[in-house]
Copies of this chain bind each other. A is one copy, B any other.
Amino acid sequence: MRVRILVSLKASVLDPQGQAVRNALHTLGYKAVEDVRQGKVFEVDLAGLSRDEAARLVPEIAHKVLANPIIETYAWEILEE
């Protein structure tokens, strides 16, 4: 099974990396770009797990390892069974 986990900064947390990208895009003339938030994406292959087992495992590893729950949130989805 392959899952995708998106980790992004909470809305209340400043994102200097996203701001730098936004500013770079403005400098290049892309004025339609109002805001950019940058995050991380993990595509994870899991072996021999049922859907239910994945639904327990993925939040656990996201919370413990992939995201910093103080400043980040995550979302996940199954890409392939």
Interface size bucket, A side? 20 to 34
The reply to whether A48 and B36 contact each other, CB–CB distance below 8 Å, is: no
**How long is the Cα–Cα vector from A24 to B28 in the complex, in angstroms?**
39
**Chain A contacts to B: CB under 8 angstroms:** 6, 8, 18, 21, 24-25, 28, 30, 32-49, 53, 57, 61, 64-66
Task: Please state the number of chain copies in the assembly.
Answer: 2
Nearest first, the 7 A-B pairs at minimum CB distance are A34-B45, A35-B45, A39-B41, A41-B41, A37-B43, A34-B47, A32-B46
Residue contact B61 to A33, C-beta cutoff 8 Å: yes
* Residue contact B8 to A61, C-beta cutoff 8 Å: no
Q: How far is the CB of A19 from chain B (nearest CB, A)?
A: 12
